[in-house]
Structures are given as C-alpha cells and as structure tokens.
Structure 1
C-alpha cells in the first residue's frame, strides 16, 4: 500500500485519498468487466443522487483500460487479476471516505462473489477504526493483502497456524482472493471488528443525505444559473476560497469575471463541511460589493453569496489548477465527473448558456436548512469521546486480565546479573524477528533468568494467530 500513498492530484492534496480495488467472482474478459462496471455504477447511483462531494466523486475504472497507478509502480511483483478500481480524494471531509466504504460494502452484497479491498494514505483505515478489537499480530507490517470486504463483512486472511498450516505467510492478491472465497477457511473478522465498522457506518445511506445543507445565497445571475445546472461546482469554488493565497485575493478584489450585477436570491446545496468552511471564515467584501447592514435579515444570505462569488472568481482565475485534470468519464456520472475533474472547463461551458429566469426563480423557491448543527456538536463529540474511552478501557481490562494470569516473576532476581541474564535470554532462541521465547514457555511462563528478564523488560508474549 505504501506505493499508493505517494499518488495524488498534481499540485493538490495527496494525503487524504482513499484507494480501492473491486475483484469479480471469476475472471472476466474486457467487455464483460465493462458490463459489470456499468451495472455496479448504476446500482449505487440512486444513493449518490444530490450528494455534493468534497473533492472527488466515487468512480470505477477497468484495469483493462488502465491499470491502477499503484499496480504500475509495483509492476515487477507479478501481474494481478483484472479488477475495477478507483480513488477518491476526500479532502477535509472524512464522511466522503466512509460513504464510499458503505458503497463498496453494498457492491459486495449486490454482486455475489465480489471481493473488495480499500485503504487510504494512512494505510488500512478499517483496522485503525477497529484498533481495540484486533488481534495483536495484526499490525501495519503484517496486514498487507489481508484485509478485505466480502458479502457485506470485513474479512481478514490469517497467518499460518497449527489449524491452518497451508496459509501463506505473505499472501499475494490472488492467494488472498482464493482464501477469502474458500469455504474451508474462515476469514470473517471477529464480532468486535464487525461491530466497530458497522457502528461507524450506522445510518448510511440516509446519513449521506443528512450531511447535505441547503443555504440561501445572493449571487450574480450568471452564477445562480451555473449552480442551478451543476450543483457540484460549489465544491471547487469553496475550496478555492478556503485555501486562498495572495494572488487569489487580488482576483477577488477585481471580480473581473463575476461582477456583482443582476443579483438574485437562490438556494445552494453544500455538504456540511463545505458550508462550515465558507460560513465560518471572516472575509472583507470587495470594494463596491453590495452588502446590507449586519443587522439586516438578508445580511447572512448576502455575505454567503459574496464569499461564494469570490470563490468562483478565484477558481476561474486559477484555471491551470482547476481545469487541467482530465479523468476517464462514465456515462452514468458524466456531468459530475467533469465538474470535479475539470471544474473551470465545466464552468466555461455553463457560462455560455443563456440564463433561464424561470429556472432561477424555481431554484430560489423554498426554505433554507437550519444551521444550528454548527453550534450543537458538543453532545455528539462527548458521546464519541465516551465511546472511545470505553474501547480503551476494555482493551486495558483485557490486558490486565492476561497479565493477572501470568506467573509472578522470581523474587530472587538480582539486577546486578542483568548482563549475563540478557545473554542467556537471547541465546534461548533467535529468529529473523529477534529473540523469541520457547513454545513451552508461552503458556507456562519461563523459569529462571529468562522469565525474570522478560518481566523486567515488560515483554508481552504473542497471542494466537488463529483469530482476527
């Protein structure tokens, strides 16, 4: 996975990116995999209707058309089975990553035999979420090609053990797929792991819709028209505003492309992260931009519209960053894909269209959403902290119970003999991972100096690798 961590958008955020591979139940030819791709996209499209993505839209591409970039970097390690793949930069909005995770799990439920793996720039984020329920052997250095999604559940390919001696110590993708699908080997992760992921995904897909926020903005008619035709363009505009630099400020001061003319009141849909990024920042209006007094009821909508207008101006003036990227489009999401991959280019297309006054009037009808959620998150934060505290306490309790079951160290241990006892301990058994304890000592404790030294150094014996 490490090779994928260096991949990202040129000049953009390469850290907050998730990657995924979708493997069909059996080997498919190029045309068959393309049919599967279309079917899967169409099956999840209803769940994404009206969703405003922070950076990238969920997508699937065929490895027959283009291999995943991370596989290209690892080309010398052997060919991998054909798959559908994609990546999503979720930027500052972590909920996009978990929404995509829910979509991937849904694909494994809908398409029998489908196996998926997903990770992000931090590694196996599913394991991070379920950290307090993992066996001790499952670590970043041992998790490569072991964590999968199948039949709506998390699966973990185990280490070879007495009960499963034929399992590979370092599985390839093809070996891992065979093991996950095999009936003779149980790879379904423990109830604790499943519960951690299920709890994190609780409420989806309705939760994704609840994360959208509609606010009233006063905008130039040209921009109101653009957003009535392509709501997703609000995301790159807010990003440009939120991460503005000196040159962006100069562009906003001029408003050469979007002057404050023919102002109309309209409703704009954001995700909550985008709305908070726009609403919470202090920003002085460009000279000549019409704003009512702060005490006026229309001030909030006018100020939001002013910030959004400046964001569009910044984005449009920085077309090299917001217009150069071209991704393979799909018929299912053609407009939203274009809006995210090359927003400035899509903006230019929409600005050439004639403005429809009736459409603008319809876009401005209705009420905006209540934004009190921005000031009432203390209870949710407290509940989340309590849940994490309970997980930590449970892990500490389990560790204490294990420690209580170990024999007490020999009280005759003399610290003055530490050097000689260390040599004796290391000489007991050694492997590529360093000094090990004999098998007989794993359950009964080690007699003599080795036991004393292990206790003094706080060494913990490895647990059984038969569980996940």
Structure 2
C-alpha cells in the first residue's frame, strides 16, 4: 500500500487543524512582514505604513495609466497572531501580466526595505518555484515548499531542510521564527533566482508594452464615461465577455421593458486604451448585435453618420464596448460593483444637468492613437522554427509580434530539450509521472474488428463527453467564484426564482397529468375508451337485444334475424370495425354503467348537448319486477 499517495490530512480525533485553505482561481495573495528584533510593536507598525506609502509612490510613477484586469494591488495593515503585517490579494482574471507586475513591485520595494520579508503565492501554490522548476534541488518539491520561499532584499530566498528537521512544509509561525532567530539560514540559489524572475527582465518597460490603443466609434455618452476614467474599460469588457441571457435581454428594451441608459446613437470617434488581453478578448468574441445595436453597426458601415468612418473590425469592437457598458450599468449582478456605481453617478449628473456631454470640438482635441496590431500575428513558419530550437533573433522581422511570447516559448523549448538530454530521466523520470494507460498501444492486430473494441470506443466517447461537460462546469464555477459576495447573492436569487417558477410549472403539469390519468382510468373501467370491443361483449349485447324483442311478442322472427346476424358477424370477423360506431356504442355502455348516477360519460355527453333518456333495459327490468 506504499504507492497510495498520503494526503497527511488529520481527521477529527487525530489532531484536526482545520480544513486546508485554498485560494479561488486566478487570485494571487501576498504578505509582508517586518522582522527586526530591535523594533518595538509600534515601530514595526510604522515601518509597514512606510512600506504602504512607498508602494503608492511606485504606483504613481509607473502605473499612472495602467489598467488592471479585475482588481488592483492593495495592501491592508492587519494584525494576526499578535504581530502586524501587510496583507492583500488580487484577482487578475485572464491577465497573468497583472500577477507578475505585483511580483515586480514587491521585489523593487524589497531593495528599499531590507527588513521586509515577503510571501507571494496563487492557486498553484509557490508559482515562483514553478517558474524555476528546472533549477530546483530534488528535496524542494511542491509538498515541501509552503512557507519556505521568501523575497528579501531583491532576492529569492529558500529556507532549506535542517539535518534534524522532518521533511514537511513549514507552518507560518515556524517560518517566521526561523527568519527572526536564524536570519542566515534562508539560502540564495542564484540559478533558482534567475529562473524564478526571468519574466521580470523587461520591467518596467513591459508595463507600457502591455497597453494597446485603438480609435473606435462610440456613442457620445460612452465616450464621455471612458474619458472620465479610462480604467472603466476593464469592467466594461468583462461585462460583455461574461454576458448571460439576462444581460443580452437588457440590450433589447422591447423585451426587457427597460429603457437603455447608453443607447447606440450619436457616434463619435475616440481613442480607447486597453490592455492587450482586454483587446484580444473583444476581438475574439463572435457576436451578432441584436435590434438597434445591429442597426447602429450597419449605419456606421454605411457611413450614414458623417462623423464616423471605420473598418468593419473597429466598428464591431466599438459596438461591443457600448453594449458592455450598457450591461454593466443595467445588470443588477453588477449593482454593487464600484465601476457600475460610479458610471451611474455620471449618468445621473447628465440627467440632472450638473454635467454636460462633450462637444465635437472638445472631442476633436482629445488625443488619438492607433497602435500597431502586429503583436496579434504569428508567423507559423517561425513558430515551427522556435519549437525546433532554431529560431532567429527577436525583433519586428522575427515573425513574432510579441517579444515576450517569443521569449517564453524559447524558454519552454529549452527546458524540454534539457529534459530530453537528461540521461537519468526515463519514461518514469519526469517526477514520477509515468505513462498514462491510454498511451500504451494495445490495439488489436487482428484483421477484423473486435466487438469489445467498439464498446471501449463508446466508453471513451462517453468519458470525453463527461469530461467536456465537467470542464464547462468548472469554467462556470470559476467565473462564479470570482464574483463578489453581492454579485453571487444576486445570481443565487435569480437562480432560486427561476427554480421556483420551474417547480410551480412542474407541479401544475403533474396535477394535470394525475387528473388526466384518473379520468382515463375511469373511462377505461367503464369501457368508454375501447374502440375495438371484444366479440364476447358484442354477443352479450346482441343477446340482450334478442331477449327484448322476444318479450315484445315479435321474438321469433327477430330472433332468427339476430341469429343470422350473429352468423354474419362470425363470417366478417376479419373486417375492420367502424370506429365511430364503436365509440358511440362504448359511450352508451359507459353511460349505462353509471346506473343513473353522475359520471364521466354523462358529463361528456351533456357537454356535447346530448340529454340521454332513461335506460330501456332498466325500464324492462322494472316492468318485469312489477309483473
């Protein structure tokens, strides 16, 4: 049983220490401690406050025009376990550049504060070590790395295992005690440091390179809002990127019965600042604008508005931006979002007259900029050369629009080649990954198809379908977990309301079904729905007719006729029955079965305006009893 992975999870009664904490997807968390035995508690707090001010200064210098994908970097002064520290977290969404910008900021500040010790990690754990995986010693695996990796004085330091120490991750208090009592113990490994921070080589230049400007046609109101605060573009793009049926309905006032706040009209040309990720997200979205939004796009392309003259691509992006801002302003899931509230205030000021829309002359004075989109293009011949390790120098003529992407690809190829050249890394050598069972070629070598093979293929297809469904579920859950508590609450309320409506509809359908089944069972029991009665039932009915005719004194002749009819029926047994005749006969039989009481047959006949007379058999029976 040694091969079974040990999770080291202590259950109740075994020293349970609580469930392991895990960050949401796309979230990076960071903590800063000031460790100096000569500082008092108050001085430590003041030192941390100085760190906050230094971060604000650095942000003003380099991030004046930076647009964060979701959350900006923030450091809150807090007290935990009897000590002061700075702590924060940032949801970076799809922009990994935001995460590495935070690493760069902390690393830069570590030069100014050599007594500051910093931890930074994300959903994957110690992601700096993941970057340096090719340079790590054998003992430093993910299970051991927690609380052992620190940034201090512009270096990456690792707390190594001592000879007496049990191989296990450190607790936070243990790590802080080591840093305070034995500050020389954390080791600097130059190769690990170089590999872990290799993405930061182009900073701070890379901060500006992450931006992209495009001149777009936008409604004057939308242009006014974005000019007031260009950072609104991030939540606007996200609102469009994560649009749901409710958001799309809000774009169509004839369906939502809600007037638009930012109608697609009065278009002007303005320059919009994006990050490359935001621009790529909009560019990659395939969307057919409905109703007046589609009409607005058509008008732009027909140059009906003399103020606009755009390519199809730029016009579509402008319509997407306008629609995204409408969703952000209208959808209640964003009601508690800071950008949504601020946009609503700007619109209220316009309605009240406290603010006015910019004129054409004012807009013409705004700076306009269109950046080259070459970074979106990749020469696939160059891509193949990079994969083969034969790529040429970086630059505009290299076939790669994005130099960082080219460098990261080369890094990946280099690491892969080193792995292939490692004689000690066999099939099971990649950290014990081994082969997947599906990698083994065990197909049949026979000349015919094995029925079991087809069953296996069906199972594989079923598994792939299940995996695809699970991936979609995970993506939806990730997006849900990234929302604020207010946004989650609004979505949950909508889901409950929808579920309640569906439940009421289902209960109504079930009640109708039960009534229908009860009616059907009663009619079947009375024979009203038997369109093809059994021959025995026919004979019994005809015998009754025969006996009635005999009682009336005309029985001999009529009895013979009835007998002849019976013979004819036997001869015509294979002929089709008249369904109308059978239906009427069954209805009469059902009415008779009611015995004069209320029942489904009588009710149905009365509904058709048919008033049935007393049953003749009952009259005869009554006369016979009297006689």
The answer to whether residue 277 in structure 2 is matched with residue 273 in structure 1 is: yes
Q: 1:5 corresponds to which residue?
A: 22
The answer to whether residue 320 in structure 2 is matched with residue 307 in structure 1 is: yes
Q: 1:24 aligns with which of 16, 20, 34?
A: 34
Kindly tell me: are residues 297 and 224 of structure 1, through their superposed partners in 2, closer, same or farther at Cα, counting changes over 3 Å? closer
**Structure 2 contact 128–197 (Cα < 8 Å) conserved:** no
Q: C-alpha distance in 2, partners of 1:205/1:28? A: 34
Please show how residues 286-325 of structure 1 align to structure 2 within 5 Å.
286-289=290-293, 290-291=296-297, 292-293=300-301, 297-319=310-332, 321-324=333-336
Q: C-alpha distance in 2, partners of 1:302/1:235? A: 19
**Structure 2 contact 143–169 (Cα < 8 Å) conserved:** no
Q: In terms of mean alpha carbon deviation, does 305-314 or 278-287 score higher? A: 278-287
Please show how residues 364-383 of structure 1 align to structure 2 within 5 Å.
365-376=367-378, 378=383, 379=400, 383=407
Q: 1:362 corresponds to which residue?
A: 365
Q: C-alpha distance in 2, partners of 1:83/1:288? A: 53
Shift of 1:343: 1.5
Residue 301 of structure 1 aligns to a residue whose secondary structure is helix
Q: C-alpha distance in 1, partners of 2:47/2:407? A: 47
Kindly tell me: are residues 361 and 305 of structure 1, through their superposed partners in 2, closer, same or farther at Cα, counting changes over 3 Å? same
Please show how residues 330-349 of structure 1 align to structure 2 within 5 Å.
342-349=338-345
Alpha-carbon RMSD: 3.0
Q: 2:267 corresponds to which residue?
A: 263
Deviations 1:412-435 (Å, cap 9, x if unpaired)? xxxxxxxxxxxxxxxxxxxxxxxx
Q: In terms of mean alpha carbon deviation, does 185-194 or 264-273 score higher? A: 185-194
Deviations 1:79-136 (Å, cap 9, x if unpaired)? 2632111101010111111111111111111222111000001111111111111111
Q: C-alpha distance in 2, partners of 1:294/1:125? A: 51
Shift of 1:211: 0.5
Shift of 1:263: 1.6
**Structure 1 contact 180–187 (Cα < 8 Å) conserved:** yes
Shift of 1:33: 3.6
Q: Name the structure with the higher helix share.
A: 2
Deviations 1:131-156 (Å, cap 9, x if unpaired)? 11111111222112101101111111
The answer to whether residue 49 in structure 2 is matched with residue 34 in structure 1 is: yes
Shift of 1:233: 0.8
**Structure 1 contact 55–89 (Cα < 8 Å) conserved:** yes
Q: 2:68 corresponds to which residue?
A: 53
Residue 83 of structure 2 aligns to a residue whose secondary structure is coil
Q: 1:148 corresponds to which residue?
A: 150
Kindly tell me: are residues 125 and 40 of structure 1, through their superposed partners in 2, closer, same or farther at Cα, counting changes over 3 Å? same
Q: In terms of mean alpha carbon deviation, does 29-38 or 119-128 score higher? A: 29-38
Q: 2:412 corresponds to which residue?
A: 388
**Structure 2 contact 129–196 (Cα < 8 Å) conserved:** no
Residue 118 of structure 2 aligns to a residue whose secondary structure is strand
The answer to whether residue 410 in structure 2 is matched with residue 400 in structure 1 is: no
Kindly tell me: are residues 210 and 249 of structure 1, through their superposed partners in 2, closer, same or farther at Cα, counting changes over 3 Å? same
Q: 2:86 aligns with which of 72, 84, 90?
A: 84
Q: C-alpha distance in 2, partners of 1:247/1:318? A: 8
**Structure 2 contact 119–151 (Cα < 8 Å) conserved:** yes
**Structure 1 contact 323–343 (Cα < 8 Å) conserved:** no
Q: 2:99 corresponds to which residue?
A: 97
Shift of 1:288: 2.9
Query: Higher Cα Rg: structure 1 or 2?
Result: 2
Shift of 1:285: 2.5
Kindly tell me: are residues 135 and 211 of structure 1, through their superposed partners in 2, closer, same or farther at Cα, counting changes over 3 Å? same
Shift of 1:250: 1.2
Deviations 1:355-409 (Å, cap 9, x if unpaired)? 343653333x32311112111375465653342232233345456399xxxxxxx
Q: C-alpha distance in 2, partners of 1:369/1:392? A: 35
Shift of 1:169: 6.1
Deviations 1:274-310 (Å, cap 9, x if unpaired)? 0011122122223234233389644333221110010
**Structure 2 contact 118–150 (Cα < 8 Å) conserved:** yes
Kindly tell me: are residues 392 and 192 of structure 1, through their superposed partners in 2, closer, same or farther at Cα, counting changes over 3 Å? farther
**Structure 2 contact 108–154 (Cα < 8 Å) conserved:** yes
**Structure 1 contact 2–123 (Cα < 8 Å) conserved:** no
Q: C-alpha distance in 2, partners of 1:167/1:182? A: 19
Q: C-alpha distance in 1, partners of 2:378/2:420? A: 32
TM-score normalised by the chain length of structure 2? 0.53
Q: 2:189 corresponds to which residue?
A: 190
Shift of 1:183: 7.2
Q: 2:248 corresponds to which residue?
A: 249
Q: C-alpha distance in 2, partners of 1:398/1:274? A: 40
Q: C-alpha distance in 2, partners of 1:4/1:96? A: 23
Q: In terms of mean alpha carbon deviation, does 87-96 or 185-194 score higher? A: 185-194
Shift of 1:345: 0.7
Q: C-alpha distance in 1, partners of 2:197/2:356? A: 48
**Structure 1 contact 133–192 (Cα < 8 Å) conserved:** yes
Shift of 1:245: 1.4
Kindly tell me: are residues 274 and 354 of structure 1, through their superposed partners in 2, closer, same or farther at Cα, counting changes over 3 Å? same
Shift of 1:268: 0.7
- Choose between structure 1 and 2 for higher RCO, CA contacts under 8 A separated by at least 6 residues: 1
| Unmatched 5+ stretches in structure 1 | 7-13, 68-78, 325-340, 403-468
Q: C-alpha distance in 2, partners of 1:40/1:268? A: 27
Residue 257 of structure 1 aligns to a residue whose secondary structure is coil
